[in-house]
Amino acid sequence: MNILVTGAAGFIGFHLSRRLLADGHFVTGIDNLNDYYDPRLKRDRLAQLGVHVRVDVDPDRPASRSYDQAQPESTGPVGSHTSGNFRFVRMDLADRTAMDRLFEEDGFDAVVHLAAQAGVRYSLQNPHAYIDSNITGFLNILEACRHHPVSHLVYASSSSVYGANTSMPFSVHDNVDHPVSLYAATKKANELMAHTYSHLYGIPSTGLRFFTVYGPWGRPDMALFLFADAMTSGKPIDVYNHGKMERDFTYIDDIVESITRLIPKPPSGNREWNSEAPDPATSFAPWQVFNIGHNKPVALMEYINELEKQLGVSAEKNMMDIQPGDVPRTWADVEDLFEYTGYRPKVAVQEGISEFVAWFREYFEK
């Protein structure tokens, strides 16, 4: 297949692109290489895919493991680079003209849309970045799929859409109308926008609610990376809600396996969908959503203890109140995913943290 992966220099996008290439597909990856976190990590991910690009870095900013979270902006000129079956195009989702031209020239079979402005806490500081990327950018993807039809649009949603829900485990059949962050609201909006385009224009679309993804080459703003960075630098770690948190930590390989199984299985519409008792997970239109999580919540303190063991370092902990936009617990019901794909995420946190620590040490030693 000829597959477009947006956010290809990002954490999930990189791993997915590598898997699709290994499976023999042609992959076009796009990314604007913004500096929400250190763009050198994005550059180095692309190098693993055989593409070498320049990134602009402020010389006055240190080559730190976790970057200052500045206002995201595109770095460097638009350009195209090719290596084997992988083509990388540096471009921004908000560039509607460039997006339409890309679709017209390449004729994609499927699209996996992973590019977004991520981060719950950051949405409190820079809300406009989330509208520009997550709403306007997604609209440009939908319009491109409308005018240049694809067999399947797979896009990233988030477990954050469950918001104020406390019924566990989170089910795709639950109502998700009470987000507690702008980031979550944009992801819920993406699901609604996709449904509208599936209904109006017949675009088969699948939304994926990811649950706390972690692993090698992960994002520096995520807990595991932040903890490892601080602990190996002799600095304290910030532990929110005084450690009384649980997360359904999901290893990157489980995310990638789930996506690759879903790409060739576009929805065709649920013939049993009842408009008088509407199911939030499916539709009469070719539209559906799935949770992708490990289905086994882990206490935050247990997660930290495992990292301490793997690093051989005891962390100094700053116990702090829960942050606005955060929720104390997440837990994914993945039965629908299993029934549809035959796959259930399976990598335990002990194995996942071990793999991350091995990469972390090797990467920063280099």
Residues 154-171 pLDDT 10s: 999 999 999 999 999 999
Q: How far is Cα of residue 359 from the mean position of the Cα atoms in its chain? A: 20
Quote the percentage of the chain above a pLDDT of 70: 94
Q: How far apart are CA 150 and CA 147, in angstroms?
A: 9
The pTM for the full model equals 0.93
Give the chain's domains with CATH numbers.
2-218+250-295+331-346 (3.40.50.720)
Closest residue by Cα to residue 287 from 190, 358, 352, 361: 190
pLDDT, greater one: 136 or 325: 136
Strand pairing of 298-299 and 246-247?
Answer: antiparallel
| pLDDT tops 80 at residue 234 | yes
| pLDDT tops 70 at residue 74 | no
Annotate 55-110 with DSSP letters as a single string: ----TTS---SS---PPP---S--EEEEETTEEEEE--TT-HHHHHHHHHHH--SE
Q: pLDDT digits over 188-220, tens only?
A: 999 999 999 999 999 999 999 999 999 999 999
CA atoms 286, 288, 292, 296: torsion sign: negative
**Catalytic residue among 183, 197, 251, 303, which?**
183
Quote the percentage of the chain above a pLDDT of 90: 85
Report helix angle 11-22 to 39-48, nearest 10: 10
CA atoms 294, 331, 291, 142: torsion sign: negative
Q: Please, is 342 exposed, middle or buried when counting C-beta atoms within 10 Å of its C-beta (0-12, 13-18, 19+)?
A: exposed
Q: Is 183 a catalytic residue?
A: yes
Q: What is the CA radius of gyration of the chain?
A: 20
pLDDT score at 82: 82
Model confidence at 58, pLDDT cuts 50, 70, 90, reads low
- Tell me, what amino acid is at 227? F
Q: What are phi and psi of 16, to 5 degrees?
A: -65, -45
